[in-house]
Amino acid sequence: MTQYFIDYGDLRKYLLLTHAFLFYGGVIFLRSFVLYRKTGKNPLVGFFKPRKMSLGEEIFRLSSVGMGLISCLFLFWPMSGLPFTPWTFGKTHLLLALAILIGIIGFAMVFMAQWQMGNSWRISIDKDDQIDFVTKGLFKYSRNPIYVGLVFCFLSYFLIIPSILTLCLFIFMTVGIYKKVMDEESHLLSTYGAKYTSYTSSVRRWL
Secondary structure (3-state) at 45: strand
> What is the model's pLDDT at position 8?
64
**pLDDT value of residue 131:** 75
**Given this model, what pLDDT does residue 19 score?**
95
pLDDT at site 3: 47
pLDDT value of residue 50? 54
pLDDT at 175: 95
| Domains of the chain, residue spans | 8-122+129-202
Q: Which fold has domain 8-122+129-202?
A: Four Helix Bundle (Hemerythrin (Met), subunit A) (1.20.120)
Q: Is 67 exposed, middle or buried (0-12, 13-18, 19+ CB in 10 A)?
A: buried
Burial annotation 2-31 (CB, 10 A radius, 16+ → b, else e): eeeeeeeeebbbebbeebbebbeeebbeeb
Q: What is the pLDDT of residue 81?
A: 52
Over its length of 207 residues, how does the chain's per-residue pLDDT go in tens digits? 444 445 667 888 899 999 999 999 999 988 888 888 888 877 776 555 555 678 888 898 899 999 999 888 888 876 555 556 666 655 577 888 999 999 999 999 999 999 999 888 888 777 767 777 889 999 999 999 999 999 999 999 999 988 888 999 999 999 999 999 999 999 899 988 999 999 999 999 998
Question: Residue 85: its pLDDT value, please?
Answer: 66
What is the per-residue pLDDT for 45?
66
- CB-based burial label for 117 (10 Å; 0-12, 13-18, 19+): buried
Q: What is the pTM of this model?
A: 0.88
Q: What is the rounded CA–CA span in Å between residue 75 and residue 68?
A: 10
Residues 135, 199 contacting (CB under 8 angstroms) = yes
DSSP letter assigned to residue 126: -
